[in-house]
Amino acid sequence: LPICTGTPRLLNMALLITRLSVYSIWVISLAESGAVSGPERVSGTFGESLEITCSYWRGYERHTKYWCRGERLSSCTDMVRTDDKEWNGRVSIQNNAAARAFTVTFESFRPWEAGQYHCGVDVSGELDPMFAATVLVLPETKASEPSVRTTGSTTSD
């Protein structure tokens, strides 16, 4: 085993960096452990409904599920939750414990709703298992205009 020599301050700093590295790896592996999964990218058409279904591991059936918006886990703002805010404007959440899945629905999807979201399970006192999903907006579909088809007439002698 190598022997560390140096000033106590440098040794303490090396131990702190090692502890932070181990903690960071633990945080990443728990948050992205697969306990919650869903689509990585979802596309919704402007003005139409969009549904996103996330699934979770056995044992989380009675926990609160949520859908939040934000680039990072630390800055994710809850939009809907299964405990108290199941409907928020045009966004709703519905849990199906038997299927171990919850569905988030956007009614009349809007362009400004595109972005980074997370589906998660609220685990008190622990890091919540979450899954990141990028939501894209497709252009509005226009009803096709009726086409006029003309046929030429032929005359025979």
What string of pLDDT tens digits covers the 157 residues of the chain?
Answer: 444 444 443 333 333 333 333 333 333 333 446 899 999 999 999 999 999 999 999 999 999 999 999 988 788 999 999 998 898 989 999 999 999 999 999 999 999 999 999 999 999 888 899 999 999 998 876 654 443 433 344 444 4
Residues 122-125: contacts with CB under 8 Å, at least 24 apart = 122/63, 122/64, 122/65, 122/66, 122/81, 122/83, 123/60, 123/63
Instruction: Output the pLDDT for position 143.
Output: 55
Q: Is the pTM of this model over 0.75?
A: no
Cα distance between residue 7 and residue 22, in whole Å: 23
